[in-house]
Amino acid sequence: MRISKFLSRSIVLAVIGLITTTANAQNAEANLQALFAKSATESSGNREYVPTEENLQARKEFEQKRFGIFIHWGYYSMPGQGEWVLTRSNVPVDEYLALASAFYPSKFNAKEWIDLFKEAGAKYMCITSRHHDGFSMFDSKYTDYDIVDATPFKRDILKELADECHKQDFGLNLYYSHVDWYRDDYPTGWSANEYNNLKKHEGDYASYYKFMNNQLTELLTNYGKIGGIWFDGVFDHRRDSMDWHFPEQFDMVHKLQPTCLIANNHHRAIQYGEDFQIFERDLPGENKSGFGNAGGVSELPLETCQQIVNGSWGYHLNKMDCKSPAELIGMLISTAGKGANLLLNIGPRPNGTIPEPAAESLRGLGKWLDKYGETIYGTKAGDLSGQSWGSTTRKSDKLYVHITNHPGKDLYMPLDCKVKSAKMFIDGSPVKFDQWKHGIQLQLPDPADGEPVMVIELTTTTK
Ligand code: GLC
């Protein structure tokens, strides 16, 4: 019913067009209508996605980065109970909405954030431009429920961050929620359940879809180069058969910015239009988070998102226990060892600053990356990963052995390449080893004080 309404409206839209005020908007509208018309005549399931050359190049560059910062931030940071407070804590919706008019992150400073992320050794960030509560952290002309119109702060946070990212040549990706707990035209799904005060409604998906595409068009036209869009929310309609019309939306994104990489956090196999694969709180191929790994591991660039504190993405006063630099280093090593980028999440405070324990740990990670970054950035998955002693990464004939759990004197590594030499990465001092038929036995030096990881560089025959 909803879908047929969607399609007939699409056809009507395609035929009659809408009156728009600016030339840009007219173009965007024309593109959108063409896509809607397409969706009426073409089934979304059986088209083949052929990425452009520039998109393929962007994927390569993205993979090289290996480390990014995820930021969950909105006015939901005010009660300090994470980004799901509206639904999980069963708070009155009107009271929640009223918080927006008090959101004034007086200490927000885009430069200080990017400076810190760079100091941490990150190469890009991904920020929630709009999370499930539907609040836009950017100035959108398609809603008043945004940072400029609905808060006394009145500054376009995303614009300030985007300008700073571009100035400092720092990658910018945007999280964008497909779920919306605010708009009446969003067809409510699983997350509006008996445990919260959200009103259930059928919605009008055609109208909501158009809203999302209008906003995506704003994000991809007003904020310079966007490295990727990180979509999230499929879970909300897992139990029904809603057709989200992703292929047309993703085509639109690629048309607006061919190098903008798309990922969708659905925990399933890669689908049409996606350029990299997301793993939520799991390494590729593992399923510790319970989100399942039904899709296996694709050939696309991989990214694992993790939290710097345990148990929350958004600022949470009860979940401030921050991972230490050594834990973060271990996390980065095991992620890179699987050939994936680490997207490490922080939840800024309502005043716009980053909690000090998180900042401290990030700086600690950055100090390690200053010395060992070469063994992480631009590498591929190593020949061995997820071992009891650690993991490896590879860059052509160099195999970097990251020992996070020193096993004592000797370390046997099964390898199907020959090792020509072995040395300590940090000072080049040689490491003795025996080459056996199916691997090598390294004679490890004692662990150095204060070094959480021992890194040995092997030069090998390439496989
Ligand atoms: C889940 C949560 C969401 C969070 C995301 C990050 O989808 O619903 O709040 O943004 O994970 O991976």
pLDDT given for residue 196 in this prediction: 79
Q: Do residues 9 and 194 lie in contact, with contact meaning Cβ atoms separated by under 8 Å?
A: no
pLDDT in tens, 76-96: 999 999 999 999 988 999 999
Give the C-alpha separation, 370 to 294, whole Å.
Answer: 37
Distance, in Å, from the CA atom of 335 to the CA atom of 353, rounded to the nearest integer, reads 27
pLDDT at 9: 42
Whole-number Å distance between alpha carbons of 381 and 399: 10
> What number is the average pLDDT over the span 227-239?
96
**Cα Rg, the chain, nearest whole Å:** 24
Please give the residue that has the higher pLDDT: either 6 or 307: 307
Q: Hey, whose CA ends up nearest to atom 7 of ligand 1?
A: 232
Q: How far is the CA of 204 from the centre of ligand 1 (A)?
A: 24
What is the percent of the chain with per-residue pLDDT over 70, rounded to a whole number?
A: 89
Distance 156 CA to ligand 1 centre (A): 23
Lowest mean pLDDT among 18-27, 109-118, 138-147: 18-27
pLDDT value, residue 449: 86
Q: How remote is the CA of residue 63 from the centroid of ligand 1, in Å?
A: 22
Lowest average pLDDT, out of 41-50, 116-125, 375-384, goes to: 41-50
**For residue 374, how many other CB atoms are within 10 A of its CB?**
16
In angstroms, what is the span from residue 405 Cα to ligand 1's centroid? Answer: 31
pLDDT at 14: 40
As a whole number, the mean pLDDT across the chain is 91
Q: Residue 232 Cα, ligand 1 centroid: separation in angstroms? A: 7
What per-residue confidence (pLDDT) applies to 25?
47
DSSP-derived secondary structure for 13-76: HHHH----SSHHHHHHHHHHHHHHHHHHHS-GGG------HHHHHHHHHHHHH-EEEEE--SGG
Q: Which of 307, 319, 314, 312 is nearest to 282 (CA)?
A: 307
- 313, 315, 316: residue to mutate for ligand 1 pocket, most atoms within 8 A of CB: 313
What is the CA(406)–ligand 1 centre distance, in A? 35
Confidence of residue 6 (pLDDT cuts 50, 70, 90): very low
Q: What is the pLDDT of residue 241?
A: 82
Q: Over the stretch 367-383, which tens digit does the pLDDT of each residue have?
A: 999 999 999 999 999 99
Distance CA 126, CA 313 (A): 13
Pocket of ligand 1 (CB under 6 A): 72, 83-84, 232, 265, 280, 305, 313
The Cα-based distances of 409 to 433, 447, 450 in angstroms read 11, 10, 19
* Inter-axis angle of helices 356-372 and 325-337, nearest 10: 50
Query: Per-residue confidence at 64, pLDDT binned at 50, 70, 90?
Result: very high
Lowest average pLDDT, out of 151-155, 180-184, 195-199, goes to 195-199
Give residue 84 CA to ligand 1 midpoint distance, Å. Answer: 9
Q: Ligand 1 centroid vs 38 CA: distance in angstroms?
A: 31
- Sign of dihedral through CA atoms 241, 242, 243, 246? negative
Cβ-contact 334, 285 below 8 angstroms: no
In this structure, the residue with its CA closest to atom 5 of ligand 1 is 232
CB atoms within 10 A of CB 140: 23
Q: Which residue out of 135, 193, 280, 319 has the highest number of ligand 1 atoms within 8 Å of its CB and is therefore the one to mutate?
A: 280
Q: 177: CA distance to ligand 1 center in Å?
A: 9
- Mutational pocket test of ligand 1: of 230, 238, 265, the residue with most ligand atoms within 8 Å of the beta carbon: 265
pLDDT in tens, 125-148: 999 999 999 999 999 999 999 999
Q: What is the mean pLDDT of residues 33-50?
A: 58
User: Given this model, what pLDDT does residue 312 score?
Assistant: 97
Which residue, by CA, sits nearest to atom 1 of ligand 1? 232
pLDDT tens by residue, 381-434 = 999 999 999 999 999 999 999 999 999 889 999 999 999 999 999 999 999 999
| Closest ligand 1 atom number to CA of residue 128 | 10
Nearest ligand 1 atom to the CA of 305 is 12
For range 93-109, the mean pLDDT: 97
How many whole angstroms separate alpha carbon 89 and alpha carbon 33?
40
Least confident of 14-28, 160-174, 424-438: 14-28
120 and 363 in contact (C-beta within 8 Å)? yes
With tokens 């150095």, the residue in question is: 448
Residue 212's pLDDT is what?
Answer: 98
Give the atom of ligand 1 at the shortest distance from the alpha carbon of 280: 12
* Tokens at 158, concatenated: 């995303």
Atom of ligand 1 nearest to the CA of 131: 10
Q: Which residues pair with 130 in a beta bridge?
A: 136, 176
| H or E, element range at 246 | helix 246-256
Label residue 30 by pLDDT band (50, 70, 90).
low
Q: Over 70: is that where the pLDDT of 362 sits? A: yes
Whether residue 39 is predicted with pLDDT greater than 60 in this model: the reply is no
pLDDT above 70 (res 38):
no
Which ligand 1 atom minimizes the distance to the CA of 235?
Answer: 7
Q: How far apart are CA 332 and CA 156, in angstroms?
A: 32
Between residues 27 and 418, the one the model is more confident about? 418
| Ligand 1 closest atom vs CA 83 | 9
More confident residue, 450 or 94: 94
pLDDT tens by residue, 257-302: 999 999 999 999 999 999 999 999 999 998 888 886 667 999 999 9
Residue 463 pLDDT: 60
Nearest residue (CA) to ligand 1, atom 8 = 233
CA of 360 to the centre of ligand 1 (A): 24
Residues in CB range of 277: below 8 A, 6 or more apart? 263, 270, 284, 295, 297, 298, 300, 301, 302, 303
Q: In this predicted structure, what is the pLDDT of residue 19? A: 36
At 315-359, the pLDDT tens digits run 999 999 999 999 999 999 999 999 999 999 999 999 999 999 999
The pLDDT value recorded for residue 295 is: 77
Task: Decide if 130 contacts 215 (C-beta within 8 A).
Answer: yes
* Rounded-to-integer distance, Cα 172 and Cα 276, Å: 15
For ligand 1, atom 12, which residue shows the shortest CA distance? 280
Q: Which atom of ligand 1 is nearest to the CA of 84?
A: 9
